[in-house]
């Protein structure tokens, strides 16, 4: 899979894809991430990419022209399955969306800044608008990093143990059960005996019960779906 990201602050995305699982995914050739600086695609003086909003009001708006220039230069190389604008008024990112996007070949993520981007770009080029939660970030870059992480780890072959993504929270609308590792006892706190029993059927049943109990307690809304 290839993910291109258009940003006015590309430096914000220098490191998130260079460690741990995403680093391995890139090294294995399973994921390619490419960050494009919007300022390289403007014809305005002093690399201007934003301007005051028509009608007045606070903040600046990213202009349509540099966005279209950047998009069209990327589209000369590949066809995108989705052109996604990161925005707090988009549909909220969730695990089913990450699962579906992990099966795509080419994604383009557009990061807004200041007061957002010219609505005409959203109307005529963006195919999907995504929010990572009900709070406002200062730009779309950190949201893009969250999306790349959530999607990238699901690409087949990225996680060593294929089953480990299947047992994540949300994969079956349940939160993940508690996990323990060595030592068996610390300050008198023991690991639940069932996990030491070697009985895999019992362990699976216990984990499922724990998942259901945790979901009822913390996220009963997930059980309504
Ligand atoms: N840009 C600013 N806030 C955002 C959010 N919550 N999700 C996605 N993009 C954003």
Res. 10: pLDDT tops 90: yes
Distances (CA, A) of 153 to 77, 146, 164, 209: 25, 11, 10, 26
Domain assignment of residue 126, given as a range: 2-152
| CA 40 to the chain's CA centroid | 25
The pTM assigned to this predicted structure is 0.95
- Residues near ligand 1 (Cβ within 6 A): 86-88, 112, 131-133, 135-137, 140, 143
With respect to residue 160, please indicate whether it lies within any of the assigned structural domains.
no
Of 98, 127, 152, which residue is a domain's last? 152
Of 152, 181, 205, which residue is a domain's last? 152
Res. 74: pLDDT tops 90: yes
With respect to residue 157, please indicate whether it lies within any of the assigned structural domains.
no
For atom 6 of ligand 1, the residue with the nearest CA is: 88
Res. 225: pLDDT tops 80: no
Indicate which CATH number applies to the domain containing 23. 3.40.1280.10
To test the pocket of ligand 1, the residue of 132, 139, 148 to mutate (highest count of ligand atoms within 8 Å of its CB) is: 132
To test the pocket of ligand 1, the residue of 6, 110, 136, 144 to mutate (highest count of ligand atoms within 8 Å of its CB) is: 136
Parallel, antiparallel or unpaired: strands 82-92 and 61-62: unpaired
With respect to residue 159, please indicate whether it lies within any of the assigned structural domains.
no
Whether residue 45 is found in the same domain as residue 122: yes
Whether residue 172 is found in the same domain as residue 142: no
Whether residue 30 is found in the same domain as residue 91: yes
Ligand 1 centroid–CA 114 distance in Å is: 11
Give residue 167's pLDDT: 79
Indicate which CATH number applies to the domain containing 211. 1.10.1270.20
Whether residue 32 is found in the same domain as residue 140: yes
pLDDT tens by residue, 184-215:
999 999 999 999 999 999 999 999 999 999 99
The whole-chain average pLDDT of the chain stands at: 96
With respect to residue 19, please indicate whether it lies within any of the assigned structural domains.
yes
Res. 162: pLDDT tops 80: no
Q: How many domains does the chain have?
A: 2
Res. 114: pLDDT tops 80: no
Helix (H) or strand (E) holding 66: helix 64-75
Give residue 24's pLDDT: 95
Whether residue 186 is found in the same domain as residue 217: yes
Give residue 98's pLDDT: 97
Of 127, 152, 177, which residue is a domain's last? 152
Whether residue 128 is found in the same domain as residue 183: no
Write the burial class of residue 60 (CB in 10 Å: 0-12 exposed, 13-18 middle, 19+ buried): middle
Whether residue 83 is found in the same domain as residue 176: no
Percent of the chain with pLDDT over 90: 92
Whether residue 173 is found in the same domain as residue 92: no
Give residue 56's pLDDT: 96
Res. 169: pLDDT tops 90: no
Give residue 163's pLDDT: 62
Res. 109: pLDDT tops 90: yes
Whether residue 115 is found in the same domain as residue 86: yes
């Amino acid at each position: 899979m290839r993910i291109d990201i258009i940003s006015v602050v590309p430096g914000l995305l220098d490191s998130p894809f260079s460690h741990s699982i995403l680093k391995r995914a890139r090294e294995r050739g399973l994921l390619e991430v490419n960050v494009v600086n919007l300022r390289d695609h403007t014809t305005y003086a002093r690399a201007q990419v934003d301007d005051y909003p028509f009608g007045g009001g606070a903040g600046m708006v990213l202009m349509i022209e540099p966005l279209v220039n950047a998009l069209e230069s990327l589209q000369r190389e590949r066809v995108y399955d989705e052109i996604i604008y990161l925005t707090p008024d988009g549909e909220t990112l969730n695990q089913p969306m990450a699962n579906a996007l992990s099966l795509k070949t080419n994604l383009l993520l557009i990061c807004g800044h200041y007061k957002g981007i010219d609505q005409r770009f959203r109307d005529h080029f963006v195919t999907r608008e995504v929010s990572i939660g009900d709070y406002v970030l200062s730009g779309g870059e950190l949201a893009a990093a969250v999306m790349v992480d959530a999607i990238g780890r699901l690409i087949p072959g990225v996680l060593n143990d294929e089953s480990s993504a299947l047992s994540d929270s949300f994969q079956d609308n349940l939160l993940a059960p508690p996990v323990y590792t060595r030592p068996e006892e610390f300050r008198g706190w023991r690991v639940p005996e069932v996990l030491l029993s070697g009985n895999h059927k019992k362990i699976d049943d216990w984990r499922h019960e724990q998942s259901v109990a945790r979901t009822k307690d913390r996220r009963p809304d997930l059980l309504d779906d």
